[in-house]
């Protein structure tokens, strides 16, 4: 098991590192190159995410010595269950948007696809399904060491949203905690990645269709409803596990090592 943990860890770090490098160094260049052929920026954006994820797909196949990539990345779960649960959990955020914020009439379909659907799908697939998931599911690492690197990189990737130190700290902490929350949901719902994907998508959507905030930190009112969404998701998950008689995958025995 130690050898498997070491082998898996090396492959995960190398694969994700390669993908992360492509996303931050060549993402816009690849979009521009594809757009020359397709002339549709949003489609170019989608395919660029796929291209950037090639090292991750290859790494997943090498780790498991098969091509059942969707299973190992958490995409074999029930999509409709994931969407319906996410819709229930995020109801407070949409209610808050309707009650306290104005509708964003400037929002466009490409913006919705880019900032909500694509962000939710690919960020969860690469950060939670691969970087976190391969560590926690297939090595002896517990929840904390498995999520730390992914949460750190995920939060750091959102620091472009402001230049004010106080806001940057808030954005970092918000997205760092969000990364932990999405990973926990993924684990406790039997590694169904569609639940955090749809949660991520719908939470982003509620902030895009309403004029809520210019960054991930938000204000007091928006965070009250975001907090209600997170609380509802946690309570529902706990009730579900207890009623089904299922053990919690994240517990004091699996926090550090398994």
Average pLDDT, the chain: 96
* Pairwise CA distance, residues 183 & 196, whole Å: 8
| Beta-carbon count within 10 A of 60 CB | 25
pLDDT in the model for residue 1: 64
pLDDT in the model for residue 69: 97
Residues 112 and 156 sit within 8 Å (Cβ to Cβ):
no
Backbone torsions φ then ψ of 131, nearest 5 degrees: -60, -50
Q: Is 253 exposed, middle or buried (CB count within 10 Å of its CB: 0-12, 13-18, 19+)?
A: exposed
Low-confidence ranges of the chain (pLDDT < 50): none
| pTM for the predicted model, two decimal places | 0.97
pLDDT in the model for residue 183: 98
pLDDT in the model for residue 132: 98
How far is residue 117 from each of residues 11, 50, 154, 256, measured CA to CA in Å?
28, 14, 17, 33
pLDDT in the model for residue 130: 98
Q: pLDDT of 138-195, one tens digit each?
A: 999 999 999 999 999 999 999 999 889 999 999 999 999 999 999 999 999 999 999 9
């Amino acid at each position: 098991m130690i050898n498997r943990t070491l082998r898996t860890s090396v492959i995960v770090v190398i694969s994700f590192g390669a993908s992360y490098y492509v996303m931050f160094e060549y993402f816009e260049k690849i979009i521009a190159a594809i757009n020359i052929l397709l002339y549709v920026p949003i489609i170019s954006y989608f395919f660029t995410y796929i291209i950037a994820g090639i090292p991750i797909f290859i790494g997943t196949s090498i780790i498991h010595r098969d091509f059942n990539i969707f299973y190992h990345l958490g995409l074999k779960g029930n999509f409709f269950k994931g969407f319906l649960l996410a819709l229930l959990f995020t109801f407070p955020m949409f209610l808050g948007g309707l009650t306290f914020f104005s509708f964003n009439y400037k929002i466009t379909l490409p913006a919705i696809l880019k900032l909500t659907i694509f962000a939710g799908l690919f960020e969860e697939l690469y950060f939670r399904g691969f970087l976190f998931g391969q560590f926690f599911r297939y090595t002896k690492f517990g929840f904390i060491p498995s999520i730390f690197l992914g949460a750190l990189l995920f939060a750091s990737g959102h620091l472009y949203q402001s230049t004010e130190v106080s806001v940057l700290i808030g954005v970092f902490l918000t997205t760092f905690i969000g990364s932990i929350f999405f990973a926990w949901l993924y684990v406790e719902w039997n590694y169904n990645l569609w639940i955090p994907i749809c949660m991520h998508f719908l939470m982003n959507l509620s902030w895009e269709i309403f004029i809520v905030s210019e960054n991930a930190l938000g204000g007091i009112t928006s965070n009250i409803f975001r907090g209600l969404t997170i609380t509802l998701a946690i309570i529902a998950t706990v009730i579900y596990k207890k009623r089904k008689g299922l053990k919690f995958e994240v517990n004091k025995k699996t926090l550090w090592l398994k």
